[in-house]
Amino acid sequence: MYESNEILDRLPRHLMDLVIEQPYNEYTAQDHAVWRYVMRRNVKHLSQVAHGSYLDGLRRTGISIEQIPHMYGMNRILKEIGWAAVAVDGFIPPSAFMEFQAYKVLVIAADIRPIDQINYTPSPDIIHEAAGHAPIIADDHYAEYLRLFGEIGSKAFSSAGDYELYEAVRHLSILKADPYTPTAEIKRAEQELTSIEQNLGTPSEMARIRNLHWWTVEYGLVGDLHKPKIYGAGLLSSIGESQNCLKKHVRKIPYSIQAADVNFDITTMQPQLFVTPDFDHLVTVLNQFADQMALRKGGLVGIQQAIASKNTATCVYSSGLQVSGTFTEVITEKEEPVYIKTTGPTALALDSKQLDGHGKEYHNHGFGSPVGKIKASSIPLEVLQEDDLKRSGVMTGEHCTLDFPSGVCVKGKLESITQKNGKNILLSFSECKVTYHDQVLFDPAWGTYDMALGESIVSAYSGTADPDAFGLSYLVPSEKTHKITHTQEARKMHTYYQTVRDVRESGTGFETLPGIWQEAVSLNPDEWLLSLEIYELCRKVPNLADLLQKITSNLELLKSKNSEIRTLIENEIDLLS
C-alpha cells in the first residue's frame, strides 16, 4: 500500500486501518490544473506573507508546483526531516489525527477540491494537507510543537456529542466535495450540523484542544501582532483565506490559552485569528492547557471524565500501574477516590507495555481496586520494602487483612507481589473477599483478586496504555468520500485539459490549441481555468496572437459576469505578467 520506512514502521496497527492507497491515477488533468493554479498563486503571494520557513519547506519536502505530489515521492524526502505521510479518506476521528501527529506522520486527504471550490474548501484535501501542513514542518521548532500536540491531544477525553459532531462534519464535507451533490441535500446536512453544535453542552477536553489546534496548526499567524506572517495550513493552502486573513477587518488577537474557548466555523472564512510571537510560545500555551487536563491532573476529576466518556480509557496509579478499560464506577470519601471499577475487558500495563498475564482476556469481566494507603502504614504500599510489608501484615503465602481508612477492606491469602521499577504495583490474592462497609465488591467465588497499588490516581486519559496488545481499533467510517462520477461533458473537458498539459510539457502541438479552445468554450462557456492555461501558452508563441486576442476578450466577458472568477482570472494574469 505504501513504501515502508522507519517512521511508518513505528505506527501502531490500530492506525493502519485508516490508511488508504493514494488514488493517483484517478486525478484528472483538470485536478492537476487546479493544483497548479493554487500552488503558483500561493508561492507568489506567500513568498511575501508566509513564515520564512514555508518556501524553504516546499523545496525540502519535494512538493512540485506543476502537479499533484505522489505520496511515495514525498515520503522519500520527508523521512530526511524525520517525518512521513499517509493517505486517508477525508476527515478521520480527531484523536486518530492527533495520534498520527504524535508518531510524526502527516495524514493527507487523498481527494482534491473541485474547481468551484478553488478559493476555499471546507473539506480536507491534498492541497490543504500536502501544500499546507507539509512545508511548515521543515521548521524544527514547529515540527516539535506538532508532535507534542499530537501526543497530548490524542489522550484528550471526548464526549458522546463530539463523536456525533465529527460524523456530521465528515458527512457535510463529503457532500460539499462532490460537485454533483444536490443543494437541498447540502442544506439538510448544514442544518443537522448546526443543531448538533448548539446542543453539545459543556465542552470536552477534545473540543477545547481541537479549538487550540484550529487556531494554531490550521489558522495560526506568527510574529508581530500588527504585521504577522502566516503559518497555519488552512491559510497557507487557501488562496482566498491567505489574502483575506491579513486584512484589517479580521481581528488579530494575541495567542493564549483563552483560544481553547473560541469555537470556529469550517464553512466560512474566520472573523478573527490568533497571533503567536514565535513557535516556542505555542509549546508554552499547549503545556498550560495540558496541565489542566486529566492526563496530568488525575484524581477524582480525571476518573469522572473517564467514566463520562463511556469509552476505553486509562487510569494511572501513583505506582505507575496503568489500568485500561471502560470505567463505570468510582467510590469516594471526602471528595477523594477510594475504589475504582471497570466493566468488561480490562488490561494492566506499566510504561505502556501490557503486563504478562494481565490482558483483557484474563480481566474480561472488568477490574476493581482500592486507591490510597492502608491504616497499618503511613507510607504507601507501593514503596514499602519487604520487611516493611511484613510489619504491615503483607506476606506472601499468608492470609492478610488490609483495612483502608475509607472503609474498604481486603481479606485473602496473598499469592504474589508484582514489583517493577523498584515499586510494588500489584498484589494477587486467592480466597479473597473485598468489601466497602456492608457492600461486597469482590467475592471469593470469583477467583483470583488482583489489587492495584497506589496512593493516588495521577493520570487519566482517553484510550489504552498498550493499544496493540489491547487490540484497539478505530472504526473505519462507513460513509466514504464520494467517488466522483463525472458527466460526459466533464469527461470531455478533462481530455482538453490533458491535451493542453501535453502541449505545455512536450513543447509541441501548439497548432491544436485554437481548435481545443473553441471546442472547450462551446462545451462550457464559463470555463476559465483551461482558457488561462491556453492563454499562458499563447503568450510564448507569436503565431497564436489571434487566439490570444480571442481568449483575452472571452476572459474579459467572464470577469464581467462573476466577481469571484474575475479575481481568479486577474490573479493569474498578474502572475504571468
Give 342-358 pLDDT, tens digit per residue. 999 999 999 999 999 99
**Residue from 434, 201, 465 nearest 359 by CA:** 465
Write the pLDDT tens digit of every residue in 343-402: 999 999 999 999 999 999 999 999 999 999 999 889 999 999 989 899 888 999 999 999
| Last residue in a domain, options 247, 263, 287 | 287
Q: Are 276 and 241 part of one and the same domain?
A: yes
Q: What is the pLDDT of residue 46?
A: 86
Q: Are 363 and 501 part of one and the same domain?
A: no
Sequence-distant (6+) residues with CB within 8 A of 563 are: none
| Last residue in a domain, options 436, 468, 500 | 468
Buried residues in 15-51 as b, exposed as e (16+ CB within 10 A)? beebbbebeeeebbbbbbbbbbbbbbbbbebbeebbb
CA distance 39 to 78: 19
235, 219 Cβ separation under 8 angstroms: yes
Give the ranges where 342-456 is alpha helix by DSSP (H). Answer: 386-391
Q: Are 127 and 261 part of one and the same domain?
A: yes
| Last residue in a domain, options 226, 257, 287 | 287
Write the pLDDT tens digit of every residue in 51-75: 988 888 888 887 888 999 888 888 8
Q: Are 227 and 120 part of one and the same domain?
A: yes
Write the pLDDT tens digit of every residue in 267-300: 678 899 999 999 999 999 999 999 999 999 999 9
Chain position carrying cell 484550529: 214
Q: Are 423 and 494 part of one and the same domain?
A: no
The domain tally of the chain equals 3
162, 153 Cβ separation under 8 angstroms: no
Whether 126 maps to a domain, the answer reads yes
Q: Is the pLDDT of residue 1 over 60?
A: no
Chain position carrying cell 489558522: 219
Q: What is the pLDDT of residue 410?
A: 97
Whether 207 maps to a domain, the answer reads yes
Q: Are 105 and 230 part of one and the same domain?
A: yes
Question: Considering the chain, what percentage of its residues have pLDDT values greater than 90?
Answer: 67
Q: Is the pLDDT of residue 2 over 60?
A: no
Q: Are strands 251-254 and 272-276 parallel, antiparallel or unpaired?
A: parallel
Q: Are 45 and 188 part of one and the same domain?
A: yes
Whether 492 maps to a domain, the answer reads yes
Q: Are 336 and 219 part of one and the same domain?
A: no
Query: 542 lies in which domain range?
Result: 488-576
CA 566 from centre of chain: 35
Q: Are 305 and 279 part of one and the same domain?
A: no
Look up the CATH number of the domain holding residue 273: 1.10.800.10
Q: Are 282 and 304 part of one and the same domain?
A: no
Q: What is the pLDDT of residue 3?
A: 63
Q: Which amino acid is at 219?
A: Y
Whether 293 maps to a domain, the answer reads no
Q: Are 244 and 151 part of one and the same domain?
A: yes
Write the pLDDT tens digit of every residue in 142-166: 999 999 999 999 999 998 788 888 8
Question: Considering the chain, what percentage of its residues have pLDDT values greater than 70?
Answer: 99
pTM here?
Answer: 0.88
254, 145 Cβ separation under 8 angstroms: no
Q: Is the pLDDT of residue 475 over 90?
A: no
Q: Are 266 and 332 part of one and the same domain?
A: no
Q: Is the pLDDT of residue 478 over 80?
A: no
- Give 111 or 260, the one with higher predicted confidence: 260
Q: At what angle do helices 529-538 and 513-523 cross, to 10 degrees?
A: 160
Write the pLDDT tens digit of every residue in 170-226: 898 888 878 888 999 999 998 998 898 888 888 999 999 999 999 999 999 999 999
